[in-house]
A and B are shown apart, each in its own frame.
Chain A
């Protein structure tokens, strides 16, 4: 599979999740492991350009696919505009949901550069913030949208 533009290989157990393989075998711990049920969105990544929960994809099923994790969003060592907006808005509390949200927001702004509040709510409905810091997260999306 290709991860963040680089061809990668891993030996995996057939029942193992892509999230486990990313974090424990491929040195990419940015995607977080929380609910393992597809409920919280902390492990959101892009698979062939589609936002998915890496905890529900088997690592072996990702063979031959193109993946982008939170580590692959920024270019040339600089932050992605969505990451900069999260910093600027202070949209991070405990930080556990942040990587998944950053990937989900980047995906939203790529499809809809000027999203309405309803569109933001819908796009981020699968990403739960246990600190309930949604207001600042919304601020970050609006900041990022002005720069997209």
Chain B
């Protein structure tokens, strides 16, 4: 294992891929390496290669959650999602780009069960314990995506700029299939550089969790009204951050026996969020 510290995005891209893994705040990558869930021949420290800071509606991917949550220019939904995402230590370290790329908290995956995401042939959660798992998009894998921040950014209609392309945030994600376990479309040698975040007229983030501070979401609901149109983004309900086009989408949920309790929570939070952005 070696650690490289490139000073530009171009240099970083040249080093990535082939078992070379990008590292920024360390809150995600370091525990995954320690637990043997991620293997790396080299770590590429991208802190000098990726922009950090807030310039109008543009956020550098290296900006920490702690920096975002206190910036009055950042929409409320994103500030609140950052504030509720983790402990002060983790928010001070973790970058917004890394937050979008978090691995699932599914305990079967974390314990290295041979599930679809590990290249296996089944979802162990579906037949086992799955209280924290998905109510949408769970045909193959029933894991739940933990990013509060991604839900907020979906509601805001965020665009990403990477070293290779520009794309709406929703296109960063893909549902895993039986023959491809990837949950993002990011290439091994591609870095998220910047986020373009429109300013809404009103926005809110509501989060149900086991503990009042620093828990992963049972259900997180982000809502933003931009140019008169309301968008909803949900965390903790599907293997990827989930967009609802309307409240009626909740009728198409596919809860598992252990996750059925999430649906009324989602309904309540969506109703409350829609009321908040209608008048806010």
A52 touches B1 (CB 8 A): no
Partner of A51, one of B23, B89, B213: B89
Can you list 8 contacts pairing A with B, beta carbon distance less than 8 Å?
Answer: A14-B1, A14-B2, A36-B34, A51-B88, A52-B92, A52-B93, A61-B23, A122-B213
Given contacts A44-B89, A126-B87, 6 further A-B contacts (CB under 8 A): A38-B30, A50-B66, A56-B90, A57-B93, A58-B3, A61-B3
- Taking CB atoms, residues of chain A closer than 8 Å to B34 are 36-37
- Taking CB atoms, residues of chain A closer than 8 Å to B89 are 38, 41, 44, 51-53, 104, 126
* Interface residue B173 (Cβ < 8 Å from any Cβ of A): no
- Taking CB atoms, residues of chain A closer than 8 Å to B107 are none
Mark A20-48 against chain B: 1 for CB-CB distance below 8 A, else 0. 00000000000000001111010010000
- Taking CB atoms, residues of chain B closer than 8 Å to A98 are none
- Taking CB atoms, residues of chain B closer than 8 Å to A58 are 3, 23, 26, 30, 43, 45
- B residues sitting closer than 8 Å to A (CB atoms) are 1-3, 23, 25-27, 30-31, 33-34, 43, 45, 47, 66, 86-90, 92-93, 213-214
B92 touches A51 (CB 8 A): yes
Mark A99-114 against chain B: 1 for CB-CB distance below 8 A, else 0. 0000010000000000
The A contact surface, by secondary structure, is mixed
A123 and B33 CA atoms in complex are apart in Å by: 28
A15 touches B33 (CB 8 A): yes
The B contact surface, by secondary structure, is mixed
- Taking CB atoms, residues of chain A closer than 8 Å to B26 are 56-58, 61
- Taking CB atoms, residues of chain A closer than 8 Å to B43 are 14-15, 58
- Taking CB atoms, residues of chain A closer than 8 Å to B30 are 17, 38, 55-58
- Taking CB atoms, residues of chain B closer than 8 Å to A93 are none
- Taking CB atoms, residues of chain B closer than 8 Å to A125 are 87-88, 213-214
Contact A56/B31 with A41-B89, A61-B26 known, Cβ cut-off 8 Å: yes
- Taking CB atoms, residues of chain A closer than 8 Å to B90 are 38, 53, 56, 126
* Interface residue A130 (Cβ < 8 Å from any Cβ of B): no
- Taking CB atoms, residues of chain B closer than 8 Å to A14 are 1-3, 43
Partner of B93, one of A56, A60, A104, A122: A56
Number of interface residues of A (CB under 8 A): 27
- Taking CB atoms, residues of chain A closer than 8 Å to B213 are 121-122, 125
B1 touches A41 (CB 8 A): no
A120 to chain B, nearest CB (A): 12
B3 touches A60 (CB 8 A): yes
B103 to chain A, nearest CB (A): 13
A109 to chain B, nearest CB (A): 14
Contact A53/B93 with A15-B1, A17-B30, A58-B23 known, Cβ cut-off 8 Å: yes
B120 to chain A, nearest CB (A): 24
Closest residue to B90 on the A side, CB-wise? A38
A47 to chain B, nearest CB (A): 9
Contact A37/B31 with A60-B3, A125-B213 known, Cβ cut-off 8 Å: yes
A123 and B91 CA atoms in complex are apart in Å by: 11
- Taking CB atoms, residues of chain B closer than 8 Å to A104 are 88-89
B210 to chain A, nearest CB (A): 13
A50 and B23 CA atoms in complex are apart in Å by: 19
Closest residue to A18 on the B side, CB-wise? B26
Closest residue to B33 on the A side, CB-wise? A15
